[in-house]
Amino acid sequence: MQKPLIDRKNRIMTIYERLLDAFGEQGWWPLTPEGEIKPVHNGDAPRNERDRFEVIVGAILTQNTSWRNVERAIESLNKKNLLD
């Protein structure tokens, strides 16, 4: 039986927070500016939980695929407000 989505999200966030504590903010991942749907790389570190969650989702999606496919997936998720 699968765990509820909120439990999985909390687990992913816990792992992320541990990595952040160990390595600090990097600012190397493209993020979606407020009011936009397409992520861009401007060197900013994640500013809030939504940005951090977008990094996690993007990192998972980028496994075994090209960044362009990840970008399209994040755009689709943003259009449906699924990263909020």
pTM, two decimals, is 0.59
Spell out the residues 6+ positions from residue 25 whose beta carbon is closer than 8 angstroms to its own: 45, 46
Q: What is the pLDDT along the chain (84 residues), one digit of tens a residue?
A: 666 777 888 898 999 899 989 998 888 899 999 999 999 999 999 899 999 999 999 999 888 888 899 899 999 999 999 888
Alpha carbon distance 53, 44 (integer Å): 15
Say how many residues make up the chain. Answer: 84
